[in-house]
């Protein structure tokens, strides 16, 4: 199954990526090549095989919930592109600016 410009644009949107039309025309054939190659997995019978999400048997890890020292607010904000009054500042969350 071939993927189209439209599929890639949709997936990019899901991934919060904006693609330049030039990037899109480069990506579509490359992604088709890669997915066609990945489709070799469709030819193998995998019925009843347990999926592996992790190389070794994993157990849940817990620890006592004890407060400990962490980064200061100042340190935590040092890499923020924009900070204001000890908080991260971002553009308007709701479009239109007129409130909900």
Partner 1 sequence: MSTPTVKGILQSIAAGETTARDWVEQSLRAIREVDGRLKAFLLVDEEQALAAADRIDRAKMYQNAPLRGVPYAAKDNIVTRGVRTTAASRILENYIPPYNATVIDKLQQAAAVMVGKTNMDEFAMGSSTETSAFQKTANPYGEDRVPGGSSGGSAAAVAAGLVPFALGSDTGGSIRQPAAFTGCFGLKPTYGRVSRYGLIAFASSLDQIGPFTRTAEDAALVLNAICGHDPLDSTSSREPVPNFADGIDRGVKGVRVGIVRHLPEEGLEPGVKAAVNRAIQQLEAEGAEVVEIELPHMEYAVATYYLIAPAEASSNLARYDGVRYGRRAEASSLLEMYERSRSEGFGMEVKRRIIIGTYALSSGYYDAYYKRAQQMRTLIRQDYERAFEACDVIAMPTAPTTAFKLGEKLDNPLQMYLNDIYTIPANLAGLPGASVPCGFVDGLPVGLQLIGRPFDEATLLRVAHAYEQVRDFAWPKPVLGVAE
For partner 1, give the closer residue by CB, 14 or 100.
14
97 Ramachandran zone, left/alpha/beta (phi>0; psi -120 to 50):
left
Q: Which residues bind partner 1 (CB under 8 A)?
A: 3, 7-8, 11-12, 14-20, 23, 26-27, 30-31, 33-35, 37-42, 44, 46, 49-56, 58, 61, 63, 71, 75-76, 78-82, 88, 90-93, 95
Rounded-to-integer distance, Cα 23 and Cα 12, Å: 11
User: Shortest distance, CB of residue 71 to partner 1, whole angstroms?
Assistant: 6
Cβ neighbours, 10 Å, residue 44? 8
Closest contact distance (angstroms) between CB of 32 and partner 1 is: 10
Shortest distance, CB of residue 33 to partner 1, whole angstroms?
5
63, with CB counted inside 10 A (0-12, 13-18, 19+), is: exposed
């Amino acid at each position: 199954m071939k993927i189209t410009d439209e599929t890639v644009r949709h997936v990019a949107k899901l991934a919060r990526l904006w693609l330049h039309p030039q990037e899109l025309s480069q990506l579509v054939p490359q992604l088709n090549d890669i997915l066609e190659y990945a489709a070799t997995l469709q030819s193998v019978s995998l019925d009843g095989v347990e999926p592996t999400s992790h190389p070794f048997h994993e157990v849940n890890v817990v620890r006592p919930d004890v407060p400990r020292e962490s980064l200061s607010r100042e340190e935590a904000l040092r890499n923020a592109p924009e900070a204001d009054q000890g908080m991260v500042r971002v553009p308007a969350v709701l479009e239109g600016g007129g409130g909900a």
